[in-house]
Structure 1
Amino acid sequence: MIHLRVLVPLIMLMLVACTGRQIPKYNAKAGKGGYHTVKPGETLWEIARNNHITAQQIAEWNNIQDPDKVSAGMRIYIPKGRGAGSRKQKRYDAPLAFDRERFQWPVKGYVISGFGMRDGSRHDGVDIKASSGSPIYAAGDGDVVYVGSLRGYGNLIIIRHADRYYTTYAHNSKNIVKLGEHVKAGELIALVGATGRATGPHLHFEVRVGATARNPLFFMPTENNATASAKKSNSSPRVRKGHYTPKKKVDKRGRRRR
Structure 2
Amino acid sequence: MAAKDEGSDSMRMFGAISKALRTAAGISQEALGEHVGYSKSLVQGVESGTRMPSQRYVELADPFLDANGTLLAAAAHLSRERFPSWFIDYLEAEKTALSLWVYDTQVINGLLQTEEYARAVFSARCPALEEEDIEARVQARLERQSLLTRKKPPCMMSFVMEEWLLYRRIGGLDAHRGQLEHLLELSERRNVSIQIMPTVCESHAGFNGPMHLLETPAHQWLVYVEGQKVGVMIDDPDQVSELYQRYAMIRSQALAPGDSVKLIEKLLGEL
- Check whether TM > 0.5: no
Q: TM-score, normalised by structure 2?
A: 0.25
Higher gyration radius (CA): 2
Higher helix content, 1 or 2: 2
